[in-house]
A and B are shown apart, each in its own frame.
Chain A
Amino acid sequence: MTDDLEVAPATTAKPRYQADGDVGLVTPRDFVHQQPFTFKSGQVISGFKLRYETYGTLNATRSNAILICHALSGDHHCAGWHSPEDKKPGWWNNLIGPGKAVDTRRFFVVCANVLGGCQGSTGPSSTNPESDRPYGIQFPFVTIRDMVRAQRLLLEYLGVTELHAVIGGSMGGMQAMLFAIEYPAFVRRVLPMATTGRESAQAIAFNEVGRQAIMQDPAWNRGDYTKETGPRVGLAIARMMAHITYVSDASMDRKFGRRKKENAPSDAYTFDVQFEVEGYLRHQGQSFINRFDANTYLYITRALDQFDLAQAYGSLERAFAPVEAETLIVGFTSDWLFPPEQNRALALALLRAGKRASYAELSTDLGHDSFLLESEELYSLVRGFLERDQPYGFDYEI
C-alpha cells in the first residue's frame, strides 16, 4: 500500500477530524493474549499483543461486526484521526465512517495490526521475554493463517460471536478468504479486493528484491539491530521498488510525467535527483523507514509468498469447500501485481465449489492500490453487498 492518501483541505470551519461522515478522533487499544500461541511453523510464543481500533457499536445480538484486514504495510488505523494535528486520517477513511460505504452507524468495525507487524502488535521488533532483547529473526515465521487465528482471538475477546463481513485488499483479501475457510460458521460475508489465491512468480520476485535490499544492508546485521541502527537504506530501497508495483505506468505518468524537480541541477550529467518521480520515490522510502520495521517487512513478505490456497488444501475448490459465507471479489483492471485474472480465478473456484460468489471488476488506471480509490461506483457496490440483509421485495424495475 502506498502512503498516497491525499486529504482535501477542510472547506468548512469544522476541523477535518469532525467532518461529516468521519469517525473523528480514535484511540488505538491493545489486546493481550496471555496464553501460549503456536504458529503454523510449530514455533511457540508465550503470548502476544494485537493493537486494534474499533468504530461504531456492537449491537445487542452481537451480529453487526465487520473486520477490516490490512495489507503488507498497513496497520490497525484504518479510519478517523489520532489527534487534531494528524496530517492524514486512517488508510481507508474514505470507505469507513458514519454514512459511508462501511457505515459505522450500522456496523461495529474492527481493525487490528497483524501478528508479526510493527505498529503495536507483537512482531520481530517486540521484546523477547526470554532474552529481554528484540526477537529479530528469532521471531517465529508468520503465515496468513497465523494472522487470522490471532485476530479471531481478538474478536472473541471483544464479544463478537459472528462477523457480518470481513473485508480486505491485497494481503487483507487473503486474510478475509482464509477467515471464511477456517471459521465458516463465523463469517457471513467476505469481500476481498485486489487479491490472489497465490502470488505469481513476478510478485514473489519483487518481494525477494525487497528482502535482498534489506538483508544486503550491513546494518541489517542478521536481524539484530535497534530502531536507530536498522537497515534504513535497504528498507527504503525495498519500499521504493515495492511502491512502483502498487501503482501503474499510466498513473505515474499522469502524476509526474518527465517533469523535472524545481531545484534540479541544471547540469544533466549528475546523479542527483532530477526528475520529480525520483524525488517522490526517495520521499516514499524515507517516510517508510520512520514507521516500519525491516524485519517485519521480511516476515510479512514471506507470509505473502507462502500463501497458496490451492497447494495448502489440494485445490482452490477444496480450499473453498467449507465456506458458508457469501463472497464478493473485486478486481481492478490496471492491477498488475494481483491482476484481474487472479481475482477472477477465486470467484470461479468458489462458484465451481457451489458457493454464492460474485465478481466485479472496476476500470481504473491506478494499479494495485486501486482498492483505496475514492470511487462512488466502488462505494455503491460495497454498500450494496453489506447492507442487503433482507431479500429485496420483487420489483419490475429493469
Chain B
Amino acid sequence: MSNGPRITKSAASRLIEKRTVDMQIIGDWVEPGTRVLDLGCGPGVLLDYLVQTKHVCAVGVDLDFAKITSCVRRGVAAYQGDMIAFMRAFPEKHFDRVICSRTVQELADPTTVILEALRVGRSLTVGFVNHGFWKNRLNTLLRGRKIRNEVYTTEWFESRPANPVTIADFENFCLVKGITIARRAHLSGNWHTPCRTQPNLFAGYAVYDLARS
C-alpha cells in the first residue's frame, strides 16, 4: 500500500474549504452581539469570523501558546489553559453560546466538557467529522488501517489521540444524558450540500445545537 493519499493542490484548497465549512452554519446560528466561547479555538479563525460578521463578544480557549499569539494578533481574546478548569471559573449561563468545533473527538473527558459547556452556556454548538460516513467505513474495511484522507492527513503515530465519533454515537449520547438537540445540520461527503437521508451513513460532517433539558 502507498503512504496514503497524496494531497494535491486542489485537495488542499478543498481541505481549507472543509475546515471552514461549519463557520457559515455556526455563523447562521449565532445571534448578533452575544457572548461566545470557543473551546479549542486554535488560531482564532472562527471567532474572528464571528466577531466580524456578528459582532459577538468572543473568547477562545486553547492549550498552545502559538495559537494564543495568533488570536491576540487577530484581536480575538483567548485564554491559554485547560478548558474544563476555564469553564469552572464561570457562573451558570455566563455565555450565550459555547462552540466546540472539530474538538470533541480529541477530548480526554468529553462528557465533562459537554456538561460544563451546557452549564456555562445557554446553548452549545458541536461540530464533528462523522466517522460513520460510508467512505470512512469503507476506508477502514478495505485498507484495514487508520483513516487517512484530506482531513486526517497523519499516520496514527503522528496523530493526536482521537476518539472517532459517529452521528449515531452522538445522538445516543444526547439521549442518554437528556440533552436537548435544538438544531442539527448534516452535510454530505463534500461538506457542502445538506444530507437528508440516513445521515450516519451519508453525512460527512455534522453540526449540532444543544441545550440543557
Contacts and interface: CB of A to CB of B under 8 A. Distances in A.
Contacts of A352: 89-91, 94
A393 to B, nearest CB: 9
A79 B69 CA distance: 25
Interface in B43-94: 43, 45, 48-49, 51-52, 57, 59, 65-66, 68-75, 77-81, 86, 89-91, 94
Given A358-B79, A361-B80, A363-B65, A398 B42 contact: yes
Interface string A312-334: 00000000000000101000000
A326 B89 CA distance: 20
B19 interface: yes
Nearest to B69: A381
A206 B51 CA distance: 45
Interface string A354-396: 1011111111000000000000010011001100100110101
B77 A384 contact: no
A385 to B, nearest CB: 5
B182 interface: no
Given A396-B45, A398-B19, A361 B74 contact: no
A381 B68 CA distance: 8
A394 B70 CA distance: 13
Given A348-B86, A358-B72, A398-B19, A377 B77 contact: no
B9 to A, nearest CB: 15
Interface string B177-189: 0000000000000
B89 A391 contact: no
Interface in B93-142: 94
Chain A interface, >50% SS class: mixed
Given A352-B91, A360-B68, A394 B49 contact: yes
Contact of B48 (A344, A356, A357, A392): A392
A363 B86 CA distance: 19
Contacts of B48: 392, 394
A398 B86 CA distance: 24
A381 B72 contact: yes
A397 interface: yes
A397 B67 CA distance: 12
Q: Report the contact-size class of chain B (Cβ under 8 Å from the partner).
A: 20 to 34
A273 interface: no
Contacts of B16: 396, 398
Pick from A326, A358, A396 the residue with the most CB of B within 10 Å.
A358
Contacts of B65: 360-363, 377, 381
Contact of B79 (A359, A363, A391): A359
Interface residues of A, number: 28
A388 B73 contact: yes
Contacts of A32: none
Contacts of B73: 384-385, 388, 392
A351 interface: yes
Nearest to B94: A352
B68 A358 contact: yes
Nearest to A398: B19
A347 interface: yes
Interface string B141-160: 00000000000000000000
B172 interface: no
Interface string A243-258: 0000000000000000
Given A358-B78, A384-B72, 15 more contacts: A344-B81, A351-B59, A351-B79, A351-B90, A354-B57, A359-B68, A360-B65, A363-B65, A381-B69, A391-B52, A391-B75, A392-B73, A394-B52, A396-B20, A397-B45
Interface of A: 326, 328, 344, 347-348, 351-352, 354, 356-363, 377, 380-381, 384-385, 388, 391-392, 394, 396-398
Interface of B: 16, 19-20, 35, 42-43, 45, 48-49, 51-52, 57, 59, 65-66, 68-75, 77-81, 86, 89-91, 94
5 contacts: A359-B79, A360-B69, A362-B65, A385-B73, A392-B48
